Structures are given as C-alpha cells and as structure tokens.
Amino acid sequence: MDDFAEIRPYHDDEVAPVLAKLLVDPELLNVVANLRIPKLNRYLPWLVRPLIAWYLRREFKGVNNVADFQLIIKRYMDAMIEDHTCSFNVSGLDVLDSNAAYLFISNHRDIALDPAFVNYSLYHHERSTVRIAIGDNLLSKPFAADLMRLNKSFIVRRSARGPRQMLAAFRQLANYIRFSLLEERSSIWIAQREGRAKDGNDATEAAVIKMIGMAQQKPDESFSDYINKLNIVPVSISYEWDPLDAAKAQELVRVERDGAYLKAEHEDLKSIAVGVLGNKGDVHVSFGAPLKGEFADAAMVAAILDEAIIDQYRLHASNVLAYMRLYNNESWRELRVPNITDADVADFEQRFAKIPQEFRVKAMEIYANPVRNQLRSRDLRAIDEAV
C-alpha cells in the first residue's frame, strides 16, 4: 500500500500517462499561450491552442521518466539564468557528501525559483536533485499540481481544515519526509517558513521544525537523535534584484495601512511567472554545514538555522545601498560586502525611480533588512562571547 500516494512526487512509470493528459489540458494550453504569444491568443485562440499543443508535444517527445522531464526543466533554467540573471554562484557544496541524503532548509524569497536554484546548483555539481515541498495553496489549477509532481515535488496540504484533518496531514507529511530521507535516501528541500519573507527578514518558523519532528520514533529516539539523523543543511539564497520588490512593498504597505491584503485570483501563479521572467541580477546560493549536536526543542533548532541562514546570506550592492539610504551610517563596512561601483549606484537609482513613491521606502527596507540582520547577529555573538 502506498501511504503517500496523494502527496508524493510521481514515479517514473507514472510520467508518460500524466504527460499525455497534460498535453491536451485546455487550461494549461491557455496559460502557455498567454505566456508565449499573448496578443495572438487573445484574438485567435482557435488558431493558437493547436499550435501550442503541437509545440508541447515536440518539447516532451521521448520523456518517459522523471530524469527526462528534469532535463527539459534544466534547459529552461539554463535559458532563464542566461537571460534574466547577471551571474549565478554557489558556495559550500564542497563540504557536503555527494552520496548522503540531506534536508535542505532555506530562506524563502521566490515561490518557484528558490528550490529551482537549489536543484540547479546540485545538478551542476553532479549531485542528485531534491524532492520539493510545495503548498497546495499554490496549486489552484490541477495541471499545476501535475507539473510540480512530475518535477519531484510533494504536496503540503495547507488547505486541511479542522484539528483532526490538519494533524493527519502534518503527520503524513512528516512521515513522508522521514521515509524519503532515511529509507529512500533522497534529499528534500523545504522552506524555513510558510510563505515568502516579503520584508526581507529570514526567520524559521518553529512550527515547521515541530511538524518535521512529528515523525520522531519515541521512545527509541530522542529529539536530538532524530534531528541529527535528518542531516539538516541551512541554505541561503540571495538575489541582487527581486522582480517582485514593488509588488511585495505594495502588499506590506497595504497590510500596515488597512490591516489586510486580499490576493487576487491566481495571484501566486502570476507571481511565479514574474519571478521567473524578471531580472534578478547576481544570484548566490550558499550551503551551510549540517546541523549536529544536542537540541532541546524545535525553537532551538529554528534559532540555529536562523543564525546560519542570516550569516551565510551573500549581500549584494543593492542591499548595502538600501541600508545606506535608509540609515545613513557606516556599520555595513564591518560585514562582508561587495565593492560598490558607480554603475551599482546608477542601477539602484534607476530601479527605485520606477517604484511608486508611496511604496519606495518599504521596498528599500526589503533590501536593507539582510544587512540589519547580519549586524544584529554579529552583535549577539559578541555579547555571548563576552559573557
């Protein structure tokens, strides 16, 4: 019996029939048409849809397993990085065992690109790609769930309602994570929190660690024993530019002003497209050392993850310039920062000139907060050392 059939990634023998269904799905064809040739699709959909169906059949011809499917994804990732980033760099993978299974827990800035960049880093360092945790709130269309599961994603059922249903969903998820890591020896990526850190403050939700800990096998395993078995690796992903900075700033301002922000229908799917197609500048993925030691509880694990993710975060000129503009002090010089050039300043001024005035300060805070957090982390370490 497959205890995880509802949430797990598709197996190799399921790929062909799922693809066959997707390639005739009218909603998927419409989405692809709107992305590729929106004007023509608006006026001549009867002509465009068959062309898109033919194009997709050609793209996925011969794809019969997950590895084949991910090779197609890699090709698109190559093109996206070439067209929409200035550079892509990775650090820390050299200290990780290429044969081990890891639970990669990263900061969360972009819905789709965070795990995609982790996978891209692993693939180009000849490592196995990860299984990706994705909330069912992002899968408002059935074709989206199928596509994600073809790409080694598993479903986090956030839509579960009622205490019993939620407990059952979390326990199933925790057991799947354990099964994947310890039985199937397949690595996993999960975000440190539910929802993106729209304000630039990377913080691990202890509830995520508590959920993972639900698969601890008591009384044979202590909490520390289980955490050590999971090989948890903190990962920091930093973008020089966030394609959604203005949208995030607008949402944050409206929440502060009105007390709430109501998302439009399928807004998350639109955010995915903007994130993928927008300019990200320089991108850096930093892998830390696996967490090892004694852990009293989930809050302690979360705190250790926070320190690692914040300290590993590779600052960009955009972060430093935003901090300088908002706080007008030189504390940032004590951190590891890039050289700031005249071109960096010009890019910064040009970008923020395009953001509406009422959202501009909030957008700058998004970029400045990683600097503030590294300074705070440094100060806290200094206090601990003094004590």
pLDDT in tens, 48-103: 889 999 999 999 999 999 999 999 999 988 999 999 999 999 999 999 999 999 99
Instruction: Give the model's pLDDT for residue 31.
Output: 84
Among residues 383, 387, 384, 344, which one has the least CA distance to residue 367?
A: 344
Residue 337 pLDDT > 80: yes
Q: 119 phi and psi, to 5 degrees? A: -60, -40
With a CB cutoff of 8 Å and minimum separation 6, the contacts of 269 are: 31, 138, 140, 141, 144
In this structure, which topology does domain 65-312 adopt according to CATH?
A: Glycerol-3-phosphate (1)-acyltransferase (3.40.1130)
Please tell me what DSSP assigns to residue 145. Answer: H
d(CA 62, CA 190): 30
| Stated pTM of the model | 0.94
Confidence of residue 333 (pLDDT cuts 50, 70, 90): very high
Encode pLDDT of 203-226 as tens digits: 999 999 999 999 999 999 999 999
Neighbour order of strands in the sheet with 153-156: 87-91, 282-287, 232-239, 103-106, 188-191, 131-135, 153-156
H helix runs in 85-124, sequence order: 113-123
The domains of the chain are located at 65-312, 315-387
Give percent of the chain above pLDDT 70.
Answer: 99
Q: Which residues pair with 367 in a beta bridge?
A: none
Residue 387 pLDDT > 70: no
